[in-house]
Each structure stands twice: as C-alpha cells, then as structure tokens.
Amino acid sequence: MARSIKGKLFLLSACVLIVAVSCQQNTTESVKQTFVSQTNDDEIPAQYIEISNKCRYTGEKITEDIFTLDNLLPESTEYTLDKYDHGYFIIGYSTRHKQPGYSAWLLTRKMVQNRNVKRENTFREDSSLRCCMAYNYDYNRSGYDRGHMCPNGDMTWSKQASKETFLLSNICPQIKKLNQGQWNDLEVLTRAWATKNDSLLVIAGPVFDCNKGHIGRSKVTVPCAFYKIIIDISYPKCKAIAFIMDNAPVKQGLFSYATDINTVEKRTGLKFFPHHVNLPIVKQMKSSLDTLSWK
C-alpha cells in the first residue's frame, strides 16, 4: 500500500514539473513576441502616438484641430525653406545656410519611456537633399560641434529614428560648451516634460540675424543663436514656452533664456501656425509666457 502511494506521488510530481516547464516556455515565447512587436522600426507604433487634439483654453471653442505638427510648421519671410519629411521628424532645409531652418517632431511619454537604442555617431550627408548639402569635412577641425536640432535622445525608442537624427540636414554648427551644456540640459528637460504632460510638439532651429561666419568648403553658416519651442498638446489645456540661447557658452539657469513664440518669430523671420495667425487662441499662445506652469 505504501509503495502504491509513493508511486502515485512520484507520477503526480512528474506531471506538475512537465506542466511548469511547458508554461515557462510559453511565457518566454510570449515575452519574445511582445518584445519583437514593440521594437519594429518600420514606422512609429500607433500606441506611441498619444496626441489629444482636445486642447482648450478656458472659454475658447475650437471647431477644428489647430495644435498639430503640420499646422505648427513655419513659413519664412527671410529665406527659402524646403520641407523634407524624415518620418520621425520634419525639417525645413535652408540651401543658403546648409542646415535646417527648423526641425519639428512629436514627443510622447512612451517614446521617452521606451529608450532602448544605444547612440551611434553616424553623422552623414543627407542624400535626399536636392542640392547644397553640408558634408562631414565641413565640420572637421572647424571648432564647432555637430549640434542636433531634433536630438538623438528623443528618438532612441527606435533604431531607424535614432539613425535619422544624424543626417547633417538636422545638424547645425554649435559651440561645444553650448551643445554639451545648457542646450543638452534643455533637451533633457523637454523629455521630462513629455513624461509629465504626455504629448508635446517640439520645434528647434538656428537664429541667423547676427551670423558668426562660415565653416568648411560648403560655407555652412554659423548661427549666432538657437531657438526651441515646446507646446504641450495634452488635454485639457495647451501651453507653450520658447527658449533662445546664444551660440556661446551660457551659464545662467534655463528659465533665464525663456521667452514667447512672438520673440522667436521676430528673431528668425519665421511665422509659426502660419495659416491660423488670426485665431485668438493662437495669438494668446504665441504672446504669453507662463514659466510657472512649466516648473
């Protein structure tokens, strides 16, 4: 009798072990499939796009979606900008200055939280440009960094998106102490705001109203300053903030360089939301500066 019970217990233990191993294999396979589906670089995954076009200022009724990336893209009154869509960000390229007049992109919480791609400094020419491109040799021994406008740190959720940021059409000559100092700090802060607020529209570029000469055989213009505009498009209320920093070592706190969008327009000759300039909600957003709402 005792032997019979022991035999049954042995068979029961064996069955439990087999089921456990089978469950573990199924779980592992499920995790692998989930990981593969989350790291597909063919396009921006739908779950990363969390735009809420329900932004409202109190008392303002909007009958159409105003705060979108396409509506934000500026027109220039100073120089020609050719639009190139790189899938993960859009640039307005200046053939005169051999760099972007702007780079614009969507930044969401999940993009920031899913940073899983290591940085690779694959700076290279943009073969999609029709003419007048910058080359790596223009920057070599120039005394200037290759400064990202759309930062690599915002696109490390996707291998292809990360790679695209190193196109020289997204790069401007920046003083090293700015590129690796307060400009980098602003990039980090922007990602923190995306995590906090859910969805941002971001646009950044150079200021050419007091240029500092040129570099390289291609005569790449050295801007005197840089701007960055961040717009929180998350429900229930939009807010915006802009920054302008000289292309020089800057040491003050980030909010010392905060300004409104109208000031950026005056310095750059760009017109943001060019097809909605007369809407009261756009006028208010472009003229206001409320740093407390961002702190």
Q: pLDDT tens, position by position, for the chain (295 residues)?
A: 444 544 544 444 544 444 444 444 443 333 333 223 333 444 555 545 444 434 433 334 445 578 888 999 999 988 899 999 998 999 999 999 999 999 999 999 989 998 888 888 899 999 999 889 999 999 999 999 999 999 999 999 999 999 999 999 999 999 999 999 999 999 999 999 999 988 899 999 999 999 999 999 999 999 999 999 999 988 767 899 999 999 999 989 999 999 999 999 999 999 999 999 999 889 999 999 999 999 8
Q: What is the pTM of this model?
A: 0.81
Is 244 inside any structural domain?
yes
Dump the DSSP string for 214-235.
EETTTTEE--SEEEEEEEE--T
Give the per-residue SS3 of 55-109: CCCCCCCCCCCCCCHHHHCCEECCCCCEEEECCCCEEEEECCCCEEEEEEEEEEH
Token pair 């932004």 is found at 55
Q: For the CA atoms of the chain, what is the radius of gyration?
A: 25
Judgement on whether residues 273 and 135 belong to the same structural domain of the protein: yes
CATH of the domain at 152: 3.40.570.10
Nearest to residue 209, comparing CAs of 179, 247, 177, 253? Answer: 247
Contacts of 293 (CB under 8 A, 6+ apart): 239
Judgement on whether residues 51 and 23 belong to the same structural domain of the protein: no
Q: Give the total number of structural domains in the chain.
A: 2
Is 169 inside any structural domain?
yes
Judgement on whether residues 179 and 232 belong to the same structural domain of the protein: yes
Domain that holds residue 28: 1-32
Judgement on whether residues 150 and 269 belong to the same structural domain of the protein: yes
Judgement on whether residues 149 and 180 belong to the same structural domain of the protein: yes
The answer to whether residues 207 and 192 touch, using CB atoms and an 8 Å cutoff, is no
Judgement on whether residues 153 and 190 belong to the same structural domain of the protein: yes
Judgement on whether residues 3 and 62 belong to the same structural domain of the protein: no
